[in-house]
Structure 1
Amino acid sequence: MSPLDAFWHLANLFAPAWGLAALLALAIKALWRREAKSLAWRRLWGWGAAGGSVAVIATVLLLGRDGRMAGYALLLLGVALPQWWLLSFRR
């Protein structure tokens, strides 16, 4: 595998986590304007992306591969929990 292939392989592994984190951050900023006013979009996205990345790595380690339904559930929790924490407790 060439370095470029390895880059695209890793980028595609983490793309669902980063994309879901971006969509959820946008939804939070749109739906909870008052509550999320003090939170920057990049902060919401960054914490969600970090949690989703950890969830993807945990899925590969625990289940042996990605793409299983349990892995997607863990991904959803990994993205949503940090953003919920920021919205609820970190103002």
Structure 2
Amino acid sequence: MPSAHPMTALDALTHLLNFVLPALLLGGLAAGLAKLVWFRALKSVPLRRLAGWASAAATAALVGGLLLTGRDGAMLTYGAMVLACAAALGWAGWGRH
């Protein structure tokens, strides 16, 4: 039986990036689509602001889902990511500036 090798720093970084990547992609894509759909209403709001808030909210939902379910990839977590992302876009785009 082959022996397991210890996780290196590069392995840990790869795992972390693979965990967070769906939230970052969702936040960036949702922000870009929001700017396209509501281009007049969001003209004065920088894309970086929208994407940052949306990605942060989706990441928080992802971490919360991991803590609640004890595993990554639960459909409940992905649904929470979408709702958190939408709420963050609403707040960052039409809420406080």
Residue 94 (structure 2) aligned to one of 80, 88, 91:
88
RMSD between superposed Cα atoms in Å: 1.0
1:59 equivalent among 55, 61, 65: 65
**Amino acid corresponding to residue 86 of structure 1 in structure 2:** A
Q: Which residue of 2 aligns with 1:24?
A: 30
Letter in 2 for 1:11: L
Which whole-Å CA distance do the structure 2 matches of 1:88 and 1:79 have between them?
14
SS of the counterpart of 2:73? coil
Give ranges in structure 2 of 5+ residues lacking alignment: 1-6
Identity %: 40
Cα offsets for 1:6-62 (capped at 9, x unmatched): 001010101000001111111011110111011100000000111011111101100
TM-score, length basis structure 1? 0.94
What residue in structure 2 maps to residue 10 of structure 1?
16
Q: CA deviation at 1:2?
A: 0.5
CA distance in 2, matches of 1:5, 1:84: 36
* Structure 1 residue ranges, 4+ long, deviating more than 6 angstroms after superposition: none
Equivalent in 38, 44, 48 of residue 50 of structure 2: 44
Aligned residue pairs total 91
TM-score with structure 2 setting the length: 0.88
Structure 1 alignment gaps of length 5 or more: none
Residue 90 of structure 1, CA deviation: 2.4
Whichever residue aligns with residue 67 of structure 2, its letter is L
Secondary structure of 2:23's partner? Answer: helix
